[in-house]
Amino acid sequence: MLKVCSFLPAVTQMIYDMGLQEHLYGVTFECPQVALFEKNVVVRCVLEGKAYSSREIDRLFSESKRTGKSLYYVEEQLMEELAPDVIFTQDVCDVCQIDTAATSAAIAHLKKRPLLISITPNTLEDVFDNALTIAAAIGKKAIGMAYVERLKQRMSVVTARLKKYKVKTKRISLLEWIDPLFNCGHWIPDQIAAAGGVDLLSNPSGNSTVLQWEDLTAYDPEIIGVAPCGFTVERTLKEIRLLTDRTGWVTLSAVRSNAVYSIDFDLFTQSSASTLVDGIELLAALFHPEAIPFPKRLVHKIKRLSGVALLE
């Protein structure tokens, strides 16, 4: 049987979504809990278990990028024992996850050299293509096609309801980091558009970039989503005053209308096809509650800024 290792949580999630986890032998420390319980953790990070602030995390990752010294490492002896046929890696972000170059260097001395497949999406459609790539690499192309079709059908339901209710596009800002501020990039603007919104401060198909506070206040979004990469709702709320204490915060339209939300990162910055579709459904319900019912299964992944759960 083909043996694979996943060096990014999004791939691990999609492998489980498609029911192909019997082929999965090794994962990264940030993968979904079910994988951490069942599989070997072969990728580690020097920051594991540390309690850093957003500013400190940004500084450490920026320094890593500047020096070219990766914060991630591979358990090489364990990899030798597992002897995988395929390793899924990525090149979207060389600081947020271990990348192909670092992976290649780490496995250079293995007796069995696995095939490296880089999963590097820029758009939402790329993410769907990635699912097909993963399934095909495992020899289960038909399963991948059925998986993608189910997810696209869910999106079509959202689209149909938005058209039926003739909704007006909402002005959105979704933040990928708060100290410093970062806009959203890559596939997230596609998610926002599919949900009936637009984020004119975003960077579609490209990296998220530092966002000036003055630009955010001038844009004055109707709705603000705060979903720092790697942060749960609770982790974000611990540092939310980095936003709320800023000059001009209380005058923003989203703040005055109580439309600021802390949202779990995995609905956006984790590029697994199923979680991104979850994110679209959640955003559509926030943007257009008259057209889209809130998905109750996701209520634990979002809170209003006040900390009151959305459906309470």
Q: How much is the pLDDT for 94?
A: 62
- Please, which residues bridge with residue 311 across strands? none
| CB contact burial 165-199 (16+ within 10 A = b; e otherwise) | eebeebbbbbbbbbeebbbbbbbbbbbbbbbbbbb
Q: What is the pLDDT of residues 187-218, one digit of tens each?
A: 999 999 999 999 999 999 999 999 999 999 99
Evaluate if residue 151 carries a pLDDT over 90. yes
Q: How much is the pLDDT for 54?
A: 82
Q: How much is the pLDDT for 68?
A: 67
Q: What is the pLDDT of residues 216-275, one digit of tens each?
A: 999 999 999 999 998 999 999 999 999 999 999 999 999 999 999 999 999 999 999 999
Q: How much is the pLDDT for 12?
A: 97
Q: How much is the pLDDT for 50?
A: 73
Q: How much is the pLDDT for 26?
A: 97
By percentage, how much of the chain surpasses pLDDT 70? 96
Q: How many CB atoms within 10 Å of residue 83?
A: 12
Q: How much is the pLDDT for 104?
A: 83
The answer to whether the pTM exceeds 0.85 is: yes
**Residue 128 contacts by C-beta under 8 Å, 6 or more apart in sequence?**
148, 151, 152, 273
Confidence of residue 82 (pLDDT cuts 50, 70, 90): very high
The pLDDT of 36-52, averaged and rounded, is: 85
Evaluate if residue 53 carries a pLDDT over 90. no
Q: How much is the pLDDT for 95?
A: 61
The pLDDT of 145-174, averaged and rounded, is: 98
What distance in Å separates the CA atoms of residue 128 and residue 147, rounded to the nearest whole number? 9
Q: How much is the pLDDT for 308?
A: 47
Confidence of residue 107 (pLDDT cuts 50, 70, 90): confident
Confidence of residue 306 (pLDDT cuts 50, 70, 90): low
Q: How much is the pLDDT for 96?
A: 66
Closest C-alpha to 192, from 279, 118, 120 = 279
